[in-house]
Structure 1
Amino acid sequence: MTITITPAASERMRQFLAQTPGAAGVRFGVKRTGCSGFGYVVDLATATGEGDRVLEVDGVPLVVDDKSLPLVDGTVIDFRRQGLNASFVFHNPNATGECGCGESFTVG
Structure 2
Amino acid sequence: MDIEPVNITTKAIAEVRNIMDNKGIPKDYSLRIGIKGGGCGALGYVIGFDKANDGDITYSQQDIPIVIDKKHVMYLIGLEVDFIEESDARGFSFIKPGEKVS
> Closer, same or farther in 2 for the Cα pair 1:24/1:92, shift >3 Å?
same
Q: For residue 30 of structure 1, what is the aligned residue in structure 2?
A: 35
Judging by fraction of residues, say which structure has more strand.
1
Pair 1:54-2:83 in alignment: no
TM-score, normalised with respect to structure 2: 0.80
* Matched residue SS, 1:48: coil
Instruction: Identify the residue that residue 47 of structure 2 maps to in structure 1.
Output: 42
Q: Distance in 2 between matches of 1:27 and 1:74?
A: 16
Pairs within 5 Å for 1:52-91:
52-91=56-95
How far off its partner does 1:85 sit?
A: 2.1
Unpaired stretches in structure 2, ≥5 consecutive residues: none
Kindly state the Cα deviation for residue 59 of structure 1 after the two structures are TM-superposed.
1.6
Q: Number of aligned pairs? A: 96
In the alignment, what sits opposite 2:15?
12
- Secondary structure of 2:78's counterpart equals coil
Instruction: Tell me, in whole angstroms, the C-alpha distance in 1 between the residues paired with 2:90 and 2:99.
Output: 25
The CA deviation string for residues 25-53 of structure 1, in whole angstroms up to 9 with x for no partner, is: 111010115x85211010111x1112111
Between the aligned partners of 1:55 and 1:62, the Cα distance in structure 2 is 5
| Matching residue's letter, 1:6 | T
Superposition misfits of 4+ residues, deviation over 4 angstroms: none
SS at match of 1:49: coil
**TM-score (norm: length of structure 1):** 0.76
Q: CA RMSD in A?
A: 1.9
| CA shift in 2, pair 1:85/1:23, >3 Å | farther
